[in-house]
Amino acid sequence: MAKLGIKDIAAISGVSPATVSRTLRNPDIVSEETRKKVMKAVEEGGYTPSRFGANLRTQKSGNIIVVMPDITNQVNAGIIRAIEREAQKAGYSILLGDTQGLAEREKHYANMAQSGQADGVLLFTFHMPFNLTKNLPAAKQLPPIVNSCESIPIEGISKVMIDNTAGARTAVEHLLSLGHKRIAAVMGPRDTPSTLERLKGYYSALKEAGIEVDEQLVIRGDYGVDSGMGAMEQLLKLRRRPTAVFCFSDDMAIGAMSVLQENGFHIPQDISIMGFDDIRYARLMTPALTTIHQPLEEIGKACIELLLEQLDGKTDKPRYVELPFSLVVRQSTGPAPVD
Amino acid sequence: MAKLGIKDIAAISGVSPATVSRTLRNPDIVSEETRKKVMKAVEEGGYTPSRFGANLRTQKSGNIIVVMPDITNQVNAGIIRAIEREAQKAGYSILLGDTQGLAEREKHYANMAQSGQADGVLLFTFHMPFNLTKNLPAAKQLPPIVNSCESIPIEGISKVMIDNTAGARTAVEHLLSLGHKRIAAVMGPRDTPSTLERLKGYYSALKEAGIEVDEQLVIRGDYGVDSGMGAMEQLLKLRRRPTAVFCFSDDMAIGAMSVLQENGFHIPQDISIMGFDDIRYARLMTPALTTIHQPLEEIGKACIELLLEQLDGKTDKPRYVELPFSLVVRQSTGPAPVD
DNA sequence: CTGAAAGCGCTTACAG
DNA sequence: CTGAAAGCGCTTACAG
């Protein structure tokens, strides 16, 4: 028995294919009697409408592509889970675009909107993978897009962000309030907007406290665990060590902590460690990691919300949503040691 | 300027749509001269073929749906990253199906194959979301499927697994070799195949060592961090505490460790902790977590490999691939305390 | 409320 | 090597 199509169901129930389609998509505009006949045939035949025909006809795929640098990252994984759930509710499926940091793959995924594989794009990378012509506004040339986490420096696209600068400032102020004066910073990749923003917060908090920045205390990382370990090793070699280290991600903070503990240092008695993100494992470290909490669920929700606005044609206007971070004080930070 | 279609490109380059299609899909069967003409029009026009037409015609979506209970789990995230990369190489995209533990969503995702949204299904859940008729072999009624991680008790579908029983046995033998006699087990959800298999390994290792199982030491968890914390709290209340705890997941082990340390216990001097999975954070705990390593990359690769075999129509025969685990001894396990 | 008809944009078997 | 034609399976504007 071959797979049933809409024509088969129409024949079985004695109506036209159009009516079968209406019964399935828009039951209210069909008489009850017809509806019953059709549904009976649908159920007995086990008919599932093919998306191929519908997609071609409506020019919609029902898919949203999420372009992310690395899905194994706890922050990204948390966001994408929320995205998937919310998209699901709205009848959309999520296509996974893990770029693994490659610009070429970024471009590949972005183009899925052009071929109709996806109706909208969620961009968590910091490049703009689309070519823009100067004389047209972005909204006219682009598929529905929402940009999140790493702010792409382009006008006219919707964004969901946290205030990274304020977050970093809050982190450093927390350390200052504990009496720390030599506060190191372990950055993310130099060219990411989030790193530049957080760095700005770091500098501004120190400046406001009247502390001159020692550039030896500013170390480049890449948000990953290993770079946090490397940065800590570097800091431990300094003649004048920091009394606190602010890592721009929890992963780096966790790496830094493990290096410290391996070398017999006590956290926070000898050195305080501060993270950023509040991933699932932050509270489980010993000592539990003080960090800046990012609202992953809300970020995911907002992304879908803004994208749906565009998909539903409700608006062309880009919207900017800023979500609140929060300081979570745990045990990895404490008063500066007296020397 | 409206979006260009294949007919437009055909008109511009002075050939038929068929030839444009051939040039793009199968350049070798087109003369060089024609190819150049067509490619010129394609590039100048910025033409990207629509998948809608192609999908309908070929009855293929080019998508694979991955059905998983929770993508924020490090094990699942690691596997799906490999899956996505390998699928990409073969020209397939990955649709995310996060069931969040709900059977109804599982069914929903599985049905995406039926509607043509996906050409194949990767099942990491332990239910069989498809209805099978007795008189037909599974391969005849099902879309291409590969089952991994949780073994679905059904004949005739391809699987990618590790030997959970042997893995658990290895874990317990490691603890036995350190002189432990009171070894607790913190299980996963009771109805998952992986838990039952690991439990079997736990029992068999103890039996072989001539140790009678104390059922008070066998605690139910759900693979999550919190259940590991709860289990440890329960174990600490026992009059005769275990000297070692084997958690069926790293997440539970990490939860257990944090409870122990909060209560002033020393790991492994007072109690040894053993995990399962070897997630990214296992080596970063203090002390670093001893665990059973799962080859996530290889699991992902094998899943796509077996699925492609079916998608390419190379075979109907289900294949079973077993991948090797390995014991990773770190600092969270040590000699049993002498009392 | 329902049907007939057109058409979405491709690919491919067939004929030359 | 290339073209004309059919058709994949739906949806929807139009007419009644």
- pLDDT in the model for residue A2: 64
> Residue A285 corresponds to which amino acid?
M
Quote the pLDDT of residue B190.
86
Higher-confidence residue: A83 or A100? A83
Q: Which of residues 251-310 of A touch B (CB under 8 A)?
A: 254-255, 257-258, 261-262, 280-281, 283-286, 288
Q: What is the mean pLDDT of residues A269-281?
A: 97
Mutation to test the B interface, candidates A3, A52, A332, most B Cβ within 10 Å: A52
- The pLDDT of residue B137 is 60
In this structure, what DSSP letter does residue A270 have?
T
Determine the CATH number of domain B164-294.
Answer: 3.40.50.2300
* Contact between A72 and B71 using a beta-carbon 8 Å cutoff: no
Q: Is A53 an interface residue toward B (CB < 8 Å)?
A: yes
Distance of CA B104 to the CA centre of its chain: 20
Give me the architecture of the A60-162+296-324 domain, per CATH: 3-Layer(aba) Sandwich (3.40)
Q: Give the pLDDT confidence of B194-219 residue by residue, as tens digits.
A: 999 999 999 999 999 999 999 999 99
Q: How far apart are CA A197 and CA A51, in angstroms?
A: 44
| Average pLDDT of the segment spanning A119-123 | 96
The residue to which tokens 């499926």 are assigned? A93
DSSP structure class, residue B223? S
State the pLDDT confidence band at A130, using cuts at 50, 70 and 90: confident
| The CATH number fitting domain B6-49, selected from 1.10.260.40, 3.40.50.300, 3.90.199.10, 3.40.50.620 | 1.10.260.40
CA distance B265 to chain A (A): 12
**pLDDT value at position B155?**
83
- Which chain A residue shows the shortest CA-CA distance from B58? A52
pLDDT at position B210, please?
Answer: 95
Is residue A317 predicted with pLDDT exceeding 90? no
Count of beta carbons in the 10 Å neighbourhood of residue A13: 22
Residue B139 pLDDT: 57
Rounded to the nearest angstrom, the minimum Cα separation between B255 and chain A is: 7
Q: What string of DSSP letters covers B232-297?
A: HHHHHTSSS--SEEEESSHHHHHHHHHHHHHTT--TTTT-EEE-SB--TTGGGSSSPPBEEE--HH
Interface A–B counts its CB contacts (< 8 A) at 129
Residues 154 through 183 of chain B touching chain A, CB cutoff 8 Å: none
Q: Do B96 and A114 touch (CB under 8 A)?
A: no
Nearest to B225 among A81, A254, A280 (CB): A280
Is residue A106 within 8 Å of residue A127, measured between CB atoms? yes
B106-109: which pairs have CB atoms within 8 A and are 24 or more residues apart?
B106/B67, B109/B65, B109/B67
Q: Which nucleotide is nearest to A55 (CA to C1')?
A: D10
Are the Cβ atoms of A116 and B51 closer than 8 angstroms? yes
CB-closest option in B52, B81, B286 to A55? B52
pLDDT (mean) for A313-328 = 91
Nearest residue of B to residue A61, measured between CA atoms: B52
pLDDT of A58 reads 96
Other C-beta atoms within 10 Å of A286: how many?
A: 19
As a whole number of angstroms, the distance between CA A245 and CA A274 comes to 6
Q: Is B33 exposed, middle or buried (0-12, 13-18, 19+ CB in 10 A)?
A: exposed
- Burial (Cβ within 10 Å: 0-12, 13-18, ≥19) of residue A134: exposed
Domains B61-162+296-325 and B164-294 share a fold: yes
DSSP 8-state class, residue A274: E
| Domain residue spans of chain A | 6-49, 60-162+296-324, 164-294
A49–B contact, CB cutoff 8 A: yes
With cut-offs at 50, 70 and 90, classify the pLDDT of residue A250.
very high
pLDDT, tens digit (0-9, with 9 covering 90-100), for B265-279: 999 999 999 999 999
- Residue B31 φ/ψ region, left for φ over 0, alpha for ψ in the -120 to 50 degree band, beta for the rest: beta
| Tens digits of pLDDT across chain B (339 residues) | 568 899 999 999 999 999 999 999 999 999 999 999 999 999 988 899 999 999 999 999 999 999 999 999 999 999 999 999 999 999 999 999 999 888 889 989 988 999 999 999 999 998 878 877 665 665 567 899 999 999 998 888 999 999 999 999 999 999 999 999 999 999 999 889 999 999 999 999 999 999 999 999 999 999 999 999 999 999 999 999 999 999 999 999 999 999 999 999 999 999 999 999 999 999 999 999 999 999 999 999 999 999 999 998 877 789 999 999 999 999 999 999 986
The answer for B 221-240 residues in CB contact with A (under 8 A) is 225
How confident is the model over B19-63, as pLDDT tens digits?
A: 999 999 999 999 999 999 999 999 988 899 999 999 999 999 999
Whether residue A96 lies within 8 A of chain B, CB to CB, comes out as: yes
pLDDT at A137: 60
**Distance of alpha carbon B178 from alpha carbon B164, whole angstroms:** 22
pLDDT for res A265 = 97
pLDDT for residue A134? 63
Give percent above pLDDT 90 in chain A: 86
Whole-number average pLDDT of chain A: 93
Q: Are B47 and A43 in contact (CB under 8 A)?
A: no
Bases of chain C below 7 A from a protein C-beta are 1-5, 7-13
Taking the domain B61-162+296-325, which CATH number applies?
Answer: 3.40.50.2300
User: How far is the CA of B237 from the CAs of B248, B263, B336, in angstroms?
Assistant: 20, 12, 19
List CB contacts (< 8 A) between B50 and chain A.
Answer: 115-116
